[in-house]
Amino acid sequence: MKAIGILALMGCVATVIEAKIYTRCKLAKIFSRAGLDNYQGFSLGNWICLAYYESHYNTTAQTVLEDGSIDYGIFQINSFTWCRSGKLQQKNHCHVACSALITDDLTDAIICAKKIVKETEGMNYWQGWKQYCEGKDLSEWKKGCEVS
């Protein structure tokens, strides 16, 4: 019953927030300007691949998990540990509202993703990255995007 209520609430939020789905090259430029290329040893291709497999470049992507927590935004950052959505038991290590992770302005999402990479086991936090990006040649992800 709780999950149904959360999904209904998510439907209301989704109608208010207009989805911004970036192109691969637009994200490459944003990520490059934000200093993600080679951040903690991860190439720009890793970040673009991660964003694709976590959210398909959708800034408003939200996934309700079995434990009741929610993954938010382009990087699918979890509400229990990394952001605040109003529940008292949340840790909020990024010191940011979860709603700030689902806007077209990727600043908070990028800052939080950098914190996750720096304070955990790199990109291993993200299952999408582990399954589809880790150990692969990721040079194609930025090909043709006019980024160095």
Q: Examine the residue annotation and report whether 54 is marked as an active-site residue of this protein.
A: yes
Q: Give the span between the Cα atoms of 7 and 2, in whole angstroms.
A: 9
Q: Examine the residue annotation and report whether 108 is marked as an active-site residue of this protein.
A: no
Task: Say which of 18, 37, 71, 134 is annotated catalytic.
Answer: 71
Please, which residues have CB within 8 angstroms of residue 47's CB and are 6 or more apart in sequence? Answer: 31, 36, 37, 39, 113
Ramachandran area for residue 97 (φ above 0: left; ψ -120 to 50: alpha; else beta): beta
Task: Say which of 54, 66, 67, 137 is annotated catalytic.
Answer: 54
As annotated, the active-site residues are 54, 71
